[in-house]
Amino acid sequence: MYRPFDLSGSVSVVVGGNTGIGFGMAQALAAAGAHVVIGGRNAENNANAVGQLEAAGGSADCLECDVMHEESVRSFMAEVVARHGRMDACFMNAGGGTRAPPFVDMSTDEWMHSIQWNLHSAYFCYREAAKHMIQLGHGGSIVGTASVAAIRSSGSTHYAAAKAGMVAMARSLAPQLGQHGIRVNTILPGFVETRISRAAAANEKFHAALVKRIPCGRIGQPSDFGGVAVYLASSASAWQTADTFVIDGGMTCL
């Protein structure tokens, strides 16, 4: 029977999976049968996420991981493999943006912080996940969550540059890792209502203006990313790598 989206027996790592888009992915991955390992730096949020996944009938555990620090990422990935003996998919969702000054007024510290948070962190995660997948010898899927800021104008130049770097890194890695059966793809979300963006989304004027620019007629929700996560973790995407998945309700077409 054809069941390409059945993830039973697999292990999916979701870094930054305790809230927001990452948690939306984790919910779908667990529902599809994967054991989900949540990685995040907030132990309470990690535990809450695991509790919700288990309450819904899923299998999950968590480990602390601070993507800003190379050694933390290295230890996290090693512990995942030590606990479970495999790593079939790794989703890198950690990162974020801050209110940005005009580019000419941006300090070097502000620039470097965003690059560290959004690009260097992805480098740490991709590298360590790839090392273990190669050693395990069963291939795998590495997926980064970037942003539509990577392909359209953004006032946060440092954030846009970092997210575009994630896309370029995935395209560069795909041929290198493909020989090991590892696929590397990038997801580019548009505006999604999360804990960080909820205040802005609640502003009626802002919300109305934003929705007018979205052909699907609403802003995104974390659950909108569950389907693509399951697809990229499954055999259904076995011939898809070096690609970008724009999930923004159609906003970038306008």
Catalytic residues: 159
Query: Interior CA angle at 212 toward 206 and 214, to 5°?
Result: 105
Dist. CA 146–CA 159, nearest whole Å? 10
Rounded to 10 deg, the angle between the 157-178 and 108-115 helix axes is 30
Task: Say if CB 45 and CB 19 are below 8 A apart.
Answer: yes
Query: How distant, in Å, are the alpha carbons of 25, 69, 90, 92, 101 from that of 144?
Result: 12, 18, 8, 5, 26
Please name every residue paired with 91 in a beta bridge, in sequence order, or none if there are none.
Answer: 14, 143
**Distance between CA atoms of residues 91 and 142, nearest Å:** 6
Helix, strand, coil percentages in the chain from 3-state DSSP, rounded to 5:
50, 15, 35
Measure the CA–CA gap between 232 and 250, rounded to whole angstroms.
20
User: Of 129, 128, 121, 127, nearest to 145 (Cα)?
Assistant: 121
**Residue 242 identity:** A
Tokens of 196: 């960080």
SS3 179: coil
Contact 122, 92 (CB under 8 A): yes
Cα within 13 Å of Cα(216), Cβ side = 14
